[in-house]
């Protein structure tokens, strides 16, 4: 009889030990877990915000394409070197735009507009000094126009993510303009 008691004790001891450990974990003396913080509410895009995203996306796509062309078609080393920076930074800018748009169920085009594509196609056929003149002229005029759009977005938007993106983009464009002059 003693042997069967020992056998039962050996069989049930791990089970009892587990029950004691679990009981210690769920004792009523512990305070309840704190509530989760509320989810951050995003401010919905206005039609002006959506329009701004479309314009900035087209500018990014166009400038990325032109900067890729500038790497091989430019006679000026400073433009060729700056083009790598432009491609990198505006690609990151475009990724941020895509994330913001996706969060608000807005789909951005992946190709430049037809008007921008005509400019890209025209620039593909230019080389050397002719490319540099056309590229510099287009870059200065398009970024100046885009800066006014960015200023308007900064002053009118209530979406902090778009305001931050506008400020960052404006700083980048100003730096690019200073280097290209």
- Neighbour count for residue 68 (Cβ, 10 Å): 15
What's the pLDDT at 181? 81
What does the mean pLDDT of the chain come to?
86
Residue predicted with more confidence, 4 or 53: 53
Could you give the domains of the chain?
Answer: 47-179 (1.20.1260.10)
CA angle 159, 150, 64 (to 5 degrees): 110
133-160 pLDDT, tens per residue?
A: 999 999 999 999 999 999 999 999 888 8
Alpha carbons 160 and 41: distance in angstroms, whole number: 12
Q: CB of 176 within 8 A of CB of 143?
A: yes
Predicted structure pTM score: 0.74
21-58 pLDDT, tens per residue?
A: 666 655 566 677 777 776 656 667 788 888 999 999 99
Nearest one of 172, 148, 150 to 90, comparing CA atoms: 172
Burial of 136 (0-12, 13-18, 19+ CB in 10 A): middle
What percent of the chain is predicted at pLDDT more than 90?
63
Alpha carbons 102 and 108: distance in angstroms, whole number: 9
How many CA atoms within 13 Å lie on the side-chain side of 128?
A: 1
């Amino acid at each position: 009889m003693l042997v069967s008691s020992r056998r039962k004790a050996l069989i049930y001891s791990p089970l009892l030990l587990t029950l004691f450990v679990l009981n210690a974990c769920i004792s009523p003396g512990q305070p309840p877990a704190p509530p989760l913080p509320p989810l951050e509410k995003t401010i919905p895009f206005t039609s002006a915000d959506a329009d701004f995203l479309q314009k900035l996306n087209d500018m990014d796509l166009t400038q990325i394409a032109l900067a890729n062309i500038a790497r091989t078609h430019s006679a000026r080393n400073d433009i060729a070197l700056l083009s790598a920076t432009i491609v990198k930074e505006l690609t990151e800018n475009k990724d941020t735009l895509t994330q913001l748009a996706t969060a608000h169920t807005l789909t951005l085009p992946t190709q430049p507009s037809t008007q921008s594509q005509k400019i890209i196609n025209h620039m593909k056929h230019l080389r050397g000094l002719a490319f540099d003149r056309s590229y510099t002229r287009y870059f200065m005029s398009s970024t100046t126009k885009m800066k006014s759009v960015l200023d308007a977005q900064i002053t009118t938007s209530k979406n902090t993510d778009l305001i931050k993106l506008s400020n960052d983009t404006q700083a980048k464009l100003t730096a690019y303009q200073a280097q290209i002059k």
